[in-house]
Amino acid sequence: MKETYYIKVGKRYKPVREYDSQLMDSFPEGCHLVVSFPGNTSYRYNIKPDTAALEAAFRVAAENGKITDEIRKVCEAKPREPWGDKQKAAFKKFQEESGLDMFYLGYPSIQDIIEAMRRAICD
């Protein structure tokens, strides 16, 4: 949305600035840093992300098993709707007769898996 700002000069209004929200909210390709405080926002464009710190944190989390634990929790089979006692009993019987202790009923989204990895590294 474009907006024009005016100041009053005598009895007339003179345009002094134009604001374009689409332009202000767009970023060129690359990594950028935005820091916002009340009354002040700063932008740094094309910064190099600190991949060494991320790599180190990822390796520590992978080594101590936090990543695999988080991903395992997120990927556990879950019914899409809450089950009643009948459904639980039927599923338990199916597991016993089939010998399968795990059966996928629904899958987590890729975003859920990424969030699990972020928690394992950053929390």
Distance of CA 79 to the CA centre of its chain: 24
The yes-or-no verdict on residue 102 having pLDDT over 70 is no
**Cα–Cα distance list, 110 to 18, 54, 84, 115, 116 (Å):** 41, 19, 28, 9, 10
For 63-81, the pLDDT digits (tens) are 788 887 888 888 777 777 7
Percent of the chain predicted with pLDDT > 70 = 93
Which of 9-13, 16-20, 105-109, 115-119 has the highest mean predicted lDDT (pLDDT)? Answer: 9-13
| pLDDT tens, residue by residue, 31-62 | 888 888 898 888 888 888 787 887 788 778 77
Residue 120: Cβ within 10 Å count: 22
Residue with structure tokens 């935005």?
A: 34
Domain layout of the chain by residue ranges: 2-44, 51-122
